[in-house]
Amino acid sequence: MADAQGLPGMDRRTIYEKSCCGRRAYSLPATDVPEVPLDDLVPAGLRRQAPPRLPEMSEVDVVRHFTGLSTLNFGVDSGSYPLGSCTMKYNPRLNETTAQLEGFAGLHPYQPESLAQGAVELMWELGEWLAEIAGLARTTLQPAAGAHGELAGLLIIRAHHLAQGREPKRVIIPDTAHGTNPASVVMAGFTPAPVRSDARGGVDLEHLREVLAGGDIAGLMLTNPNTLGVFDENIVEIARLVHEAGGLLYYDGANSNAVLGISRPGDMGFDIVHFNTHKTFSTPHGGGGPGAGPIVVSAELAAYLPVPLVERAEDGRFFLDYDRPQSIGKMRTFYGNVGVLVRAHTYIRGLGPDGLRRVSETAVLNANYVMESLRGVLDVPYERRCMHEFVASATPLKEHGVRALDVAKRLLDYGVHPPTTYFPLIVDEALMVEPTETESREDLDRMVDVFRRIVQEAHDDPQKLLDAPVTMPVRRLDEAEAARHPVLRQRFPEDEEAGAC
Ligand SMILES: Cc1ncc(COP(=O)(O)O)c(C=O)c1O
């Protein structure tokens, strides 16, 4: 956590360090049992020389501290959060109620399946629904995030080729791909083979043919719609070409919010799909975890799925199958993050097939509404209808000394979370905007109005953008420093001069 440098009076001591010698949040009655000499309890050599250094605070200070911290961050519960490719939709509170039911929250991972039939059935049902949504055959719920699902999928691609006596090395990755795609490719022992996008934002078929002609192709990873927010119209041809070259198709399902109940990756020709439950199925993003990135595969690849796999016996019992000789092994301890899966199950069950389709239709409508409202305000490089998100460019503002980052920071002052910036890499000064389906018409109008005002400010008074944010508890952080050297523990008066008690 970097030092606060924003609102008046908000130094790091007011926000974080409140310890004061001798303060306590509890009081205990005097003991009425004889005290045992310490040496009889713990030998002197094993005892601490000094008491542990813990913050000393009153109860009200503890409550105010945590309540205060909970308001420092901008969250999806605080305002519009159009962070492209992340699908920051509102998470219905009903999800929390079901996840807290004793039968789920109180489960122990070593509990025999016979005593946890309801939870195992829930996992089975969720797997079946995801298979239906993907248009494929079998699901594993184990991976803990989208990127973890990517790794599992690529290990399955490797197992598939090895079983056929082949060891191809290259996995094709479009230049719009999310960074986790090439990273997962390398982690799985393959080499990324980049392919360019064409003028409409889809895979350049000519270039794809050239890359395929180089041989040694294990597969292709693709997001559809991609991170430009456009649907690749050539997907059936792409799938045909990759399959013909002996490769498999991996669908990065991060953008599934655009196509639920409308089109299915399996029908497009994909063999493996991951879903990010925290994007599409309204489970918390929660600082990178605990999350879930289930993958769904074709019947042909099911044998390679990680163990254990949730199965239903002929008598209707549900069980966890470890006896799968061709499995790639375990991707994670136990069965995945069950609490997260319960939330995704609640969301899908609550909406049903028609509701899921409406989610995507509304997400696409909202994105197009915002995109069309911003044409002429910002540069929108791809002149076509978008799916659930679109990419604008702040390049025209450069002549005023303003960049995409400055627009993003100024949005915070108006109560709108910044969109994703500088991604995808092929758009200069990219602002990737994903309003999601849970924003009302009024919220969308407000978002558009805020963008307009900020662009006007960039013309009239660019310094306002360069100084932003001015209403947040912290101003501009050194993000590399904050990520590499975070200060995550209490500092005591001995550590620094400020705030001696
Ligand atoms: C297109 C795309 N693919 C993959 C991922 C990785 O997903 P996760 O963050 O769940 O690991 C993301 C995450 O933002 C993404 O946007």
State the pLDDT at residue 482. 84
- Give nearest CA residue, ligand 1 atom 12: 254
Give the lowest-confidence range in 339-343, 379-383, 475-479. 475-479
State the pLDDT at residue 52. 83
The answer to whether residues 177 and 192 touch, using CB atoms and an 8 Å cutoff, is: no
State the pLDDT at residue 3. 42
CA–centroid distance, 252 to ligand 1, in Å, is: 8
Q: What is the mean pLDDT of residues 332-343?
A: 92
Which pair of tokens denotes residue 368? 């197009």
Mutate to test the pocket of ligand 1, among 85, 221, 282, 433 (most ligand atoms within 8 A of CB): 85
CA–centroid distance, 377 to ligand 1, in Å, is: 29
Does pLDDT of 154 surpass 70?
yes
Query: What 8-state DSSP symbol labels residue 375?
Result: B
Which atom of ligand 1 is nearest to 227's Cα? 1
Does pLDDT of 151 surpass 70?
yes
Measured distance CA(252)–CA(403) in Å, rounded:
30
DSSP string, 162-189: HHTT----EEEEETT--THHHHHHHHTT
Taking CB atoms and a 6 Å cutoff, what residues make up the pocket around ligand 1?
Answer: 85-86, 145-147, 178, 180, 223, 227, 252, 254, 276, 293
CA–centroid distance, 285 to ligand 1, in Å, is: 11
CA–centroid distance, 417 to ligand 1, in Å, is: 18
Residue 54 — very low, low, confident or very high, per pLDDT cuts 50/70/90? Answer: confident
pTM across the whole model = 0.90
CA–centroid distance, 30 to ligand 1, in Å, is: 55
Does pLDDT of 420 surpass 70?
yes
CA–centroid distance, 87 to ligand 1, in Å, is: 10
CA–centroid distance, 146 to ligand 1, in Å, is: 5
Measured distance CA(71)–CA(25) in Å, rounded:
22
- Give nearest CA residue, ligand 1 atom 14: 86
CA–centroid distance, 288 to ligand 1, in Å, is: 10
Interval 61-91: pLDDT, tens: 999 888 888 888 888 999 999 999 999 999 9
CA–centroid distance, 148 to ligand 1, in Å, is: 10
Give the length of the chain. 501
- Give nearest CA residue, ligand 1 atom 10: 146
Which pair of tokens denotes residue 177? 């791909």
- Give nearest CA residue, ligand 1 atom 7: 146
Q: What percent of the chain has pLDDT over 70?
A: 94
Which pair of tokens denotes residue 387? 């799916």
CA–centroid distance, 133 to ligand 1, in Å, is: 19
State the pLDDT at residue 456. 98
Interval 100-150: pLDDT, tens: 999 999 999 899 999 999 999 999 999 999 999 999 999 999 999 999 999
Measured distance CA(161)–CA(301) in Å, rounded:
11
Mutate to test the pocket of ligand 1, among 178, 251, 285 (most ligand atoms within 8 A of CB): 178
CA–centroid distance, 225 to ligand 1, in Å, is: 13
Which pair of tokens denotes residue 457? 């400010």
Rg (CA), the chain: 26
Q: Where are the beta strands (DSSP E) in 114-183?
A: 138-140, 170-174
- Give nearest CA residue, ligand 1 atom 8: 146
- Give nearest CA residue, ligand 1 atom 9: 146
Does pLDDT of 469 surpass 80?
yes
Name 184's Cβ contacts closer than 8 Å, sequence gap at least 6. Answer: 147, 150, 151, 154, 221
State the pLDDT at residue 105. 94
Interval 479-498: pLDDT, tens: 899 889 887 777 776 665 54
Mutate to test the pocket of ligand 1, among 85, 87, 180 (most ligand atoms within 8 A of CB): 180
State the pLDDT at residue 477. 84
In 272-304, which positions are buried (b, 16+ CB within 10 angstroms) versus exposed (e)? bbbbbbbbbbbbbbeeeebbbbbbbbbeebbbb
Which atom of ligand 1 is nearest to 223's Cα? 1
Residue 2 — very low, low, confident or very high, per pLDDT cuts 50/70/90? Answer: very low
Which atom of ligand 1 is nearest to 255's Cα? 1
Which atom of ligand 1 is nearest to 278's Cα? 10
Which atom of ligand 1 is nearest to 291's Cα? 10
- Average pLDDT value for the chain: 93
State the pLDDT at residue 69. 84
Which atom of ligand 1 is nearest to 86's Cα? 14
Interval 3-21: pLDDT, tens: 444 455 556 666 677 888 8
- Give nearest CA residue, ligand 1 atom 16: 85
Which atom of ligand 1 is nearest to 85's Cα? 16
CA–centroid distance, 281 to ligand 1, in Å, is: 14
Residue 499 — very low, low, confident or very high, per pLDDT cuts 50/70/90? Answer: very low
State the pLDDT at residue 500. 43
Interval 423-451: pLDDT, tens: 999 999 999 999 999 999 999 999 999 99
HSE (CB half, 13 Å, CA atoms) of 189? 10
Mutate to test the pocket of ligand 1, among 221, 222, 276 (most ligand atoms within 8 A of CB): 276
State the pLDDT at residue 8. 53
Name 198's Cβ contacts closer than 8 Å, sequence gap at least 6. Answer: 204, 205
Q: Which domains does the chain have, with CATH numbers?
A: 116-350 (3.40.640.10)
Does pLDDT of 202 surpass 90?
yes
Does pLDDT of 1 surpass 60?
no
